[in-house]
Amino acid sequence: MPIPTVPLDLLLLPTWLVPVEPAGVVLKDHGVGIRDGRIVFIGSRQQALKLAASETRELPDMLLSPGLINAHGHAAMTLFRGMADDLPLMTWLEQHIWPAEAKWVDEDFVRDGTNLAIAEQLKGGITCFSDMYFFPKVASECVHNSGIRAQIAIPVLDFPIPGASSADESLRQAIELFADLKYHPRIKIAFGPHAPYTVGDDNLEKIRVIADELDAAIHMHVHETAFEVHQAVEQHGERPVARLARLGLLGPRFQAVHMTQISDDDLTMLVESNSSVIHCPESNLKLASGFCPVERLWQAGVNVAVGTDGAASNNDLDLLGETRTAALLAKAVAGSATALDAHRALRMATLNGARALGIESDTGSIEIGKAADMVAFDLSGLAQQPVYDPVSQLIYATGRDCVKHLWVAGKQLLDDRCLTRMDEQQLSATAKAWGERISGHTH
């Protein structure tokens, strides 16, 4: 390829480069050149060293991959981490989470909880996350200030929620925030109807009309449990996915979160509409919600991404760990050891996430012209030796403690495991203070 003449801002020289696109490729002793936050050069180390660069970083024994994309979560719920564990979904929601939210959630809670979540995610190799929580304007301010990338899905329910007294008010806020952030380089606004059982047809139709007009995504919990599907069939005579298809919500901008229950008809509708599925294996395991048939979806051609869900039901925002769980679980569910191999698992946590969020032209793989959203994993540790296939090692033998450096749009937000823009001690102290307040009132 032609050698860039203007000096690079940054040249990275990892031992292994895993671009994710093309699929299954590992490049040894290659360099990546970055200018103005974009990738402008990928080539051999020899070629790379001929380039002028303001900064050159040697990354020995490190695997450089696209930043991980956490395609579903509720960031501020980090402040409820571990508060109501080992309970079934509806008990957990109705008797613990919803009352706690009604009591505690305000702008300060969302600001502090979201900042804690962003810091945890950056330290875990996540460069982009999807958030669906109250006071979305506050969350978007946290994203803006931190330098991370995000999709903010504005929650819409048929009843009042913290920060919005009605579904119409939520929609007004969404339209306003969409207009404000339309040209933001790192934030996308989406609509977040909570679930089929909390949003009626009228509001779903309104969302569909507005989302179509704005070309915005729709992010929704769907078929999370067998109970949800069973109840829908009993009450309305149709499965939630069929209802969403009838209302015109499914499509390339639709993000179906969980999908643990999938019939042949459901699968056909997902495939024909080109909807994405976001798989949250650990939350589903912990709440005993069921198993998303990832391999079946993948083989049918459905785009499957991965998410952690909120820290109140996971309980960590560890997407690398989540991806490992997803890869192992996919094999057990499919009854096949070849299901969701390591390379496809990494793709699910990167490029598939970008596709689900509609930002694949900008991020999700290391390609010329894309934003420099990258993470360097240190594979020099005892537990990673010997390295036959670095991607296998990453997925099956590496934890998020191996995340060493991270860049979003070419800006380094994690340097040698330390956050460059956020104060870890302060975040920790703030979270502890919230824990004391909440537990003081709940016991």
pTM of the predicted model as reported, rounded to 2 decimal places: 0.97
Centroid of chain to Cα 373: 14
pLDDT at 262 over 60: yes
CATH fold group of domain 68-356: TIM Barrel (3.20.20)
pLDDT grade, residue 5 (50/70/90)? confident
The single residue listed with the structure tokens 């450096």 is: 405
Class of domain 10-66+374-408 (CATH, top level) = mainly beta
**In which region does residue 274 sit, left (phi positive, over 0), alpha (psi from -120 to 50) or beta (all else)?**
left
pLDDT of the residue at 441:
64
288 touches 258 (CB < 8 A): no
Separation between Cα atoms, residue 140 and residue 180, nearest integer Å: 11
pLDDT grade, residue 443 (50/70/90)? very low
Mean pLDDT computed over 257-266: 97
pLDDT of the residue at 49:
97
pLDDT at 1 over 60: no
Q: Which residues contact 228 (CB under 8 A, 6 or more apart)?
A: 195, 196, 197, 240, 261
Mean pLDDT computed over 416-424: 98
Share of the chain above pLDDT 90, in %: 95
411 touches 37 (CB < 8 A): yes
Separation between Cα atoms, residue 146 and residue 119, nearest integer Å: 9
Centroid of chain to Cα 378: 22
pLDDT at 442 over 70: no
Which residues on neighbouring strands pair with residue 254, listed in sequence order? Answer: 218
**Annotated domain spans of the chain:** 10-66+374-408, 68-356
189 touches 179 (CB < 8 A): no
Q: Give tens-digit pLDDT for 197-231.
A: 999 999 999 999 999 999 999 999 999 999 999 99
185 touches 145 (CB < 8 A): no
Separation between Cα atoms, residue 10 and residue 56, nearest integer Å: 6
pLDDT at 2 over 80: no
Preceding omega of 162 cis (within 30 degrees of 0): no
